[in-house]
Chain A
Amino acid sequence: EPEVTQTPSHQVTQMGQEVILRCVPISNHLYFYWYRQILGQKVEFLVSFYNNEISEKSEIFDDQFSVERPDGSNFTLKIRSTKLEDSAMYFCASRDSTNTGELFFGEGSRLTVL
């Protein structure tokens, strides 16, 4: 069964460093998302991406965050200058063009900022 894959599974970084989280969505999907879950909190929407541009973003997704689809398969989330509060599990998700709203999630990348 096709799946969304994410790398790395866990990254530890120093505060102020840049981090890039990578995702390979399901191949025929056209809509891509990043969500995050801070430990003990809800899963939160960060950003949606379609046709090489951001469709929607949350208040959390400020100027330190960016997303990119650098080639036909990868979808990346960059955090420019990490803060302690960026420590979370980051989930990539994708969906096809049918109007069901069903998202397929990756296994997540755990980011720990020290």
Chain B
Amino acid sequence: DQQVKQNSPSLSVQEGRISILNCDYTNSMFDYFLWYKKYPAEGPTFLISISSIKDKNEDGRFTVFLNKSAKHLSLHIVPSQPGDSAVYFCAASRTDSWGKLQFGAGTQVVVTP
């Protein structure tokens, strides 16, 4: 099932710099998108979300951008911190089916000093 794709399995970034994670989706029925962060041996933790009626949502160091025409979203982390080293999952859903998330494969982010 390739409805949500994260094409970069890994990303290495220096502390203090910007991390940009990308996600593409194919199903035009998706209208709500979320980013989750996951540490080893833990469950995914919600980070930030965006509705399809918006093109940007910010929460502290995290900003999600949505380009509906391109079916593309991105997560920006500024500035990156060592504690941000984790796997980041993009997920998509439909508002008529809250909670049924379609996940991407994840991007492993490593923040180096």
- Chain A hits for B113, CB < 8 A: none
| A33 neighbours in B (Cβ, 8 Å) | 99-100
Q: In the docked arrangement, what's the CA distance between A93 and B93, Å?
A: 15
14 A–B pairs (Cβ distance < 8 Å), ordered by A: A41-B105, A42-B1, A43-B101, A45-B102, A48-B99, A56-B97, A93-B43, A95-B98, A99-B95, A100-B49, A101-B32, A104-B46, A108-B41, A108-B42
Interface size class of A (residues with CB under 8 A): 20 to 34
Residue A105 lies at the interface, judged by CB distance under 8 Å to chain B: yes
Q: What does the 1/0 interface line of A18-57 toward B look like (CB < 8 Å)? A: 0000000000000101010000011111001000000010
Measured in the bound complex, the distance between the Cα atoms of B104 and A41 in whole Å is 10
Chain A residues close to B by CB (< 8 Å): 4, 31, 33, 35, 41-45, 48, 56, 91, 93, 95, 99-108
- Complex Cα distance A68/B99, Å? 18
Residues of B that sit less than 8 Å from A by CB: 1, 32, 34, 36, 41-46, 49, 89, 93, 95, 97-106
Chain B residues, Cβ within 8 Å of A93: 43, 99
Closest CB-CB distance, B92 to chain A, in whole Å?
Answer: 10
Chain B residues with CB under 8 A of A102: 34, 46, 49
Inter-chain contacts of B42 with A (CB < 8 A): 107-108
**Which applies to chain A's interface (DSSP): helix, strand, loop or mixed?**
strand
